A = this chain, B = another copy of it.
Amino acid sequence: MKIALGQINPTVGDISGNILKILDYANQAKSLGARLIVFPELAICGYPPLDLIFKPSFVRSNREALAYLTERVEGIGVIVGYVDVKSSVSKKLVNAAAFIDHNQIVGRQYKTLLPTYDVFDEARYFESTNEYNVFTVDDVRFGLTICEDIWYQREWENRNYTSDPVAKLKLLDPNLIINLSASPYVINKEKVRCDLIQNTAKKFNLPIIYVNQIAGNDELIFDGRSFVADRDGKIQMVAKAFEEDLIVVDFDSRSQRFKAQNVIEGDNQLENIFKALVLGVKDFTRKCGFSKVVIGLSGGIDSAVTACIAKYALGAQNVYGVAMPSKYSSGHALDDARVLANNLGIKFDVIPIDKMMQETLLNFQDNVYALKNSLSLENIQPRLRGIILMAISNEFNYLVLNTGNKSEIACGYCTLYGDMCGGLCAIGDLLKTKVYELANYINVMAGEEIIPRSTITKRPSAELRENQFDDDTLPPYATLDKIISYYVEEHLSVPQIEELGYNINLVQDVVNLIDRSEFKRKQSAPTLKISQCSFGVGWKMPIAYKAKYILEDLLCQVKL
């Protein structure tokens, strides 16, 4: 039996748009001979719908859309994710999959395991259920699982999960497991996911069809890569990464094997990151109703990489680069910005800020007092640049792309309302060392020097005062990035990081910077997530807190 995997890109909340796309894919799959098509988790409303779920009209519309789909789809069975109401009395909601066939909803399966960690908070929205069914089409007997339901094997030790949905289904003797997913990309997740599905297939001796959405939905990027695994765990067919795709596999229910097969390309981490960010920028821009972006080009590496991502996401004609030099800007910085813009073929302008800066300082001096603190003087400059970029945004309806990287956002080496301006931060989950790697990757991929060599090789500088260099204030990025990773991602303490071979004073300084910058991160632009632990969605830290929990002073004698 031929089964199609409908790897679509739903827009959150766009129920009518999503349902038209689902119908279109179902019709395409039918014309390719498929008897059944599987769509991702919550495909009707898009994932994650977040608090839209609390609007009864939203839930009602998504159920009406399912009814509409049931009426309209002909000649192919459809399995699709949506939000259901468990009972009209309790009004409790469930994360559901429906199996539609012959203009009827043949059955429903509700999600058991509700992820409530990292970027997920499904316990906020849904009730967990524990009832399982197996559905039959011809000689195929399949059980449905929804995303986390199939992650029990890997995650159970860290979660409060008490039962394995696949094990429960296995008792009903299916010959196929189907999983509807909305599983966000993070670096190397594709391998984790494949291992998991392969192990689950082997453990239960059951083939698995795994359908994941692709989408940039706010800060989350979904990479697709839907695939099928034989009951011995062998992966037989993989859909595209970061693109919509429709693949059809031929499933033999007797042997419980898939006949279709394609070659799986080796994974390249930088290629994946680049594609992820391109999709993230493209979808955020489009789904927010913009077509063009403006980027402040400093001649530095962060804005250069951001501009490259924007060009690949939106096309050169939709990217506008603006250099905003000051008297502290080096000559080569402006040259580098201009060369980059030229290499990318994007529109480019120069709008200096010196006169605005002078007028700001005069305005203070003439009306109240002269500003003297170097912090005030430095921060005014990026804030004036922010005014310029936002004025362009307002004047022409361009989205401002923010160019901050994770190292500076971690340490607060950035100016709130200044270089932190923007509707979306493209590389804010990339440590500076990773930004360099990506810059080199881009030049290699393009087969030419798009990002000027001098941008990559020069000593990083914020250029907000004479002879200012990042490594005067911060440790070298190779060291800084390691400390950030240990502290932020691995939750190591200062003494633990010291044990790994770092100077304790240096570590304490960096940790203090990180702790004290929470107020900036609270107001940062949405940031595309590509790491296990980004500063955007899934990062929930207090602002007005004291990190005085080491207690050396108080507790020298007391140890547990």
Residues of A at under 8 Å CB distance from B?
Answer: 11-17, 19-20, 45-46, 48-52, 54-58, 60-65, 67-68, 71, 90, 92, 116-117, 121, 123-124, 127-128, 157, 160, 216-218, 283-284, 287-288, 349-353, 355-356, 359-360, 362-364, 367-368, 371-373, 375-376, 379-380, 383-384, 386-388, 390-392, 394-396, 416-417, 421, 423, 491, 493, 496, 519, 522-526, 539-551, 553-555, 558-560
Contact = CB atoms under 8 A, between A and B. Distances in A.
11 contacts: A13-B542, A57-B493, A61-B549, A67-B555, A355-B359, A364-B388, A373-B394, A375-B394, A376-B394, A387-B417, A526-B543
Contacts of A423: 519
B379 A218 contact: no
Contact of A121 (B67, B116, B491): B116
A203 to B, nearest CB: 22
A20 to B, nearest CB: 8
A58 B64 CA distance: 48
A493 B11 contact: no
A117 B51 CA distance: 10
Contacts of A525: 522-523
How many copies, total?
Answer: 2
A544 B218 contact: yes
A371 B390 CA distance: 12
Contacts of A542: 12-13, 48-50, 52, 217-218
Contacts of A396: 373
A501 B387 CA distance: 42
B384 A544 contact: no
A560 B127 contact: no
Nearest to A114: B123
A547 B289 CA distance: 12
A288 B543 contact: yes
Contacts of A287: 544-546
B11 A546 contact: yes
Contacts of A380: 387, 391
Contacts of A67: 555, 558-560
A522 B19 CA distance: 28
Contact of A551 (B15, B217, B373, B553): B15
A363 B355 contact: yes
Contact of A56 (B17, B491, B558): B491
Contacts of A63: 560
A410 B550 CA distance: 41
A529 to B, nearest CB: 14
Contacts of A543: 218, 284, 288, 526
Contact of A548 (B15, B50, B368, B373): B15
